Chain A
Amino acid sequence: MLRIDCPCCGPRDHDEFRYGGDASVMRPAHDDADFEAWYRYVFVRKNPAGAHREHWQHVLGCRQWLIVERDTRNHSIASVALARNPSGKKPPARKPSQ
């Protein structure tokens, strides 16, 4: 089992998470008419043997999308960050609901 250190929930087994693929792939702007850009977005992957930035969603936990940097040769995880806040800062504490 991979152990992913979720910024919200702490270290958890990877089968609590859903894989979301290569996080370095960027969607072209919706009005981008460049066919190549769309082809590359949909199909082409770097698929490195080594460090890979990838999306995981903690579906059985906080449901946050994460960006995990993992070595595809040995599964060692170098970093985990929130996908919407990839600088790695912790999200602000939520106010308790009224």
Chain B
Amino acid sequence: MRRYSALSILANGLAGHRHWQRAWRAPEPKRSYDVVIVGGGGHGLATAFYLAENHGIRNVAVIEKGYVGGGNVGRNTTVIRSNYLLDGNTQFYEFSMKLWEGLTHALNFNVMFSQRGQIVTAHSADQLDFFSYRANVMRLNGIDAEILSRDDVRRLVPYLDYSDTARFPIHGAIMQGRAGTARHDAVAWGYARAADGHGVDIIQNCEVTGFLRDGDRIVGVETAKGPIAAGKVGLAVAGHSSVVGQKAGLELPIESHVLQAFVTEPLKPMVDHVVAYGADHFYVSQSDKGGLVFGGNLDGYNSYAQRGNLGVVREVAEAAIALMPCISRVRLLRHWGGVMDMTPDASPIICPTPIDGLYLNGGWCYGGFKATPASGWCFAHTIATGKPHPLNAAYSLERFRTGRTLDEAGVGPFAWLQ
């Protein structure tokens, strides 16, 4: 892999851009690998990269049904933050944030990580108290957090509704200055290129149709391109964990739901932060191209259709206007949907499974993008050593049996209410 640098851009520019290498190869699958990762999204590619980088395991294949970047890694709203309340989540997402801060250099690929800060508005004194509690938990864990007064919020984000007629007046906000956004496609491509540079085979347009077994042990995968033997198999197919897991005989505490995202026509720079509405489900940032990128609630019923329903478009638009009346005349350019693994406690699963040789990374609900680096790091550790890393020890499948759930959403096993 030739490294990207200012000099390489200059040299290739002068040569008319005819000599760039492919970012990653398109190999035919070998008959056998030490590790096969099912799913070439952000998490699967990051896992392959860290298996090679941290553990020296380079005889690895990533097998992807579609193309790299075609799933949820290319469908999210790119928000990165580490403002989680519960032990287990707090430390895991902060570790991820630290990896994000060095990711462009680690991958030699500009992921355009922009730490523009995230502001979550509070709309009652009680909510601001709760945010203070959250901020204290974060600061005790060494994570930056600030509580803003109404005047502070008004100074930072003057375009919200501060009028006397606001349905939910803004009392203040919690802010994480290191939060921000990244270019999601670049994250997929960067991990793919860096993993490929370590010798990982990325096999696209190759669906896994079943698993090879030796007694109770899983020893490989059946694919559209024939059987591939593997010492260990890792699933990183969030959205479809139940479907692929079922082929291996896994029963999972997961429901698949669709979440929509939206982008407006391009505007001049206005939204300098990531802003989330504390009174409803709405969050917005502005892309480098000028479009407002935002999202809201789940559609609310089991779905594998990668498209959403108009009822939610209306609800999200209503929440948007309630917080930011100034965008009421802005037109939507696109909206789309992604399929989420929703777990009963809104926290992910990264663990060995009860089936020998099979490891699971899934259940990301709608928070998977920000977790990509730490998820890959911890899943690679789990696969390489057979045991979870301390950072993902809380993300076991067993936690639902033992009652040690990480109930970040606080709604119980009703995924569609999260």
Q: Is B204 an interface residue (CB 8 A)?
A: no
Cα A21 to Cα B310 in complex, Å, equals 21
User: Does A98 belong to the interface (CB within 8 Å)?
Assistant: no
Structural contact, A19 and B416, CB atoms closer than 8 A = yes
- Give Cα A3–Cα B255 distance, bound, in whole angstroms: 22
Give Cα distance in the complex from A70 to B310, angstroms: 18
* Most chain B CB within a 10 A radius of its CB, from A35, A49, A73, A75: A49
Residue from A19, A35, A45, A52 in contact with B300 in the complex, judged by beta carbons closer than 8 Å = A19
Residues of A within 8 A of B414 (CB): 21
**Centre residue among A2, A45, A47, A74 by max chain B CB count within 10 A:** A47
Q: Name the interface size band of chain B.
A: 20 to 34
Q: Give the distance in Å from the alpha carbon of A73 to the alpha carbon of B416 in the complex.
A: 17
**B309 CB-CB contact with A under 8 Å:** yes
**CB pair B256 A49 closer than 8 Å:** yes
CB of B88 within 8 A of chain A? no
Tell yes or no: B400 within 8 A of A by CB: yes
Contact pick for A52, options B243, B246, B252, B302, CB 8 Å = B302
Supposing A44-B251, A47-B255 touch, asked if A19 and B242 sit within 8 A by C-beta, the answer is: no
A98 to B246, CA, bound (A): 55
For the complex formed, measure the closest distance between the CB of A5 and the CB atoms of chain B, giving whole angstroms.
Answer: 16
User: Which of the residues B254, B300, B305 comes within 8 Å of A72, measured between beta carbons?
Assistant: B305
Which of chain A's residues have a CB closer than 8 A to the CB of B415? 21
Given A72-B302, A73-B304, A2 contacting B251 (CB threshold 8 A): no
Q: B303 in the interface, Cβ–Cβ < 8 Å? A: yes
- The number of chain A residues with a CB under 8 A from chain B is 26
B-side contacts of A21, CB under 8 Å: 255, 414-416
- The yes or no answer to A12 lying at the interface (CB within 8 A) is no
**Cross-interface CB contact of B302 among A14, A22, A44, cutoff 8 Å:** A22
Interchain CA distance A15-B415 in the complex, whole Å: 17
State how many angstroms separate the Cβ of A3 from the closest Cβ of chain B.
11
Please report the C-alpha to C-alpha distance between residue A74 and residue B305 in the assembled complex, in whole angstroms: 6
Which residue of chain A has the shortest Cβ distance to B311 in the bound complex?
A: A15
Q: Chain A residues near B344: list those with CB within 8 A.
A: 42-43
Is B66 an interface position by the 8 A CB rule?
no
Task: Report B-chain residues with C-beta under 8 Å of the C-beta of A54.
Answer: 301-302
Q: Let me know if A44 and B253 touch, CB within 8 A.
A: yes
Contact status of A73 and B305, CB under 8 A, knowing A39-B401, A47-B242: yes
User: Within the complex, which residue of B246, B309, B401, B416 is in contact with A2, where a contact is CB–CB below 8 Å?
Assistant: B309
Instruction: Kindly list chain B residues whose C-beta atoms are within 8 Å of the C-beta of A22.
Output: 255, 302
Using Cβ atoms and an 8 Å threshold, which residues of chain B touch A49?
240, 242-243, 256, 304
Nearest A residue to B241, CB-CB: A47
User: What A residues does B386 contact at CB under 8 A?
Assistant: none
State whether B253 touches A43 (Cβ < 8 A): yes
| Given known contacts A19-B416, A72-B305, A73-B305, A39 and B400 CB-to-CB distance under 8 angstroms | yes
State the CA gap A22–B253 with chains docked (Å).
12
Contact between B254 and A45, CB atoms less than 8 A apart: yes
Given contacts A19-B416, A39-B400, A43-B413, contact A1 B305 (CB under 8 A): no
Flag whether A46 is at the interface (Cβ < 8 A): yes
Closest 8 CB pairs of A and B: A47-B242, A43-B253, A49-B304, A15-B311, A43-B400, A19-B301, A72-B304, A73-B304
A-B contact pairs, 21 of them (CB 8 A): A1-B309, A1-B310, A21-B416, A35-B401, A42-B400, A43-B400, A43-B413, A44-B252, A44-B253, A45-B252, A46-B246, A47-B243, A47-B255, A47-B256, A47-B302, A49-B240, A54-B301, A70-B301, A72-B303, A74-B305, A75-B305
